[in-house]
Chains A and B, each alone.
Chain A
């Protein structure tokens, strides 16, 4: 079974400082990894994904994430946080078996609430 862990329920960071939101995963197969953001009373917005290739992935709004296979991690980062980045962030994984068979189900972490303090 696949699972995603976001070890921090909440992350506080001062505006202008770098931010990191952590994500680790557990799968049997090759992971496809995704980050989404959710603002209050809204659906989820896609930020970025790792499928294959370069371990550093760049996405929307200045966010990036680094895939680390040995540590089974996919942490979300941004060099300089904005107050408008305050939201709920979700990491998700989809598994592709070594045989190539894919699972279409996205498994999400519990979410991390990011608060950027002015």
Chain B
């Protein structure tokens, strides 16, 4: 089975711009979660989608949003980028129940200048 794929892998944006990141889960997985990884804050949960519905949301400002499509693919959007948004954004998919592990993609490295 193909793993979780994320596009693009690298991205450079300017403050104030917006960005959209894409994630394709493992085939058959209906849950997609997004995480932000930075050296200072570590791994922080952004949100989780299951069957096109947001089930859980972390403590991030409203500039961070996401959605999931009927084929389970997911996108996250960050508007009005700030320097502090520079991070590795990781997407993970799972079968959906709490006892299932998540499988992570390679991440999108976002740099905001």
- Total number of A residues with any Cβ neighbor in B under 8 Å: 24
Nearest chain B residue, comparing its CB with the CB of A43? B104
Interface of A is mostly: strand
Q: Which of A36, A104, A111 contacts B56 (CB 8 A)?
A: A104
The reply to whether the CB of B63 lies closer than 8 angstroms to some CB of chain A is no
Nearest chain A residue, comparing its CB with the CB of B47? A105
Inter-subunit contact B98/A103 (CB<8 Å) = yes
Bound: A39/B110 CA distance, A: 18
Q: Would A104 and B103 be within 8 Å (CB), given that A44-B90, A94-B98, A111-B42 are in contact?
A: no
Inter-subunit contact B104/A105 (CB<8 Å) = no
Interface of A toward B, CB cutoff 8 Å: 32, 34, 36, 41-46, 49, 51, 90, 94, 96, 102-111
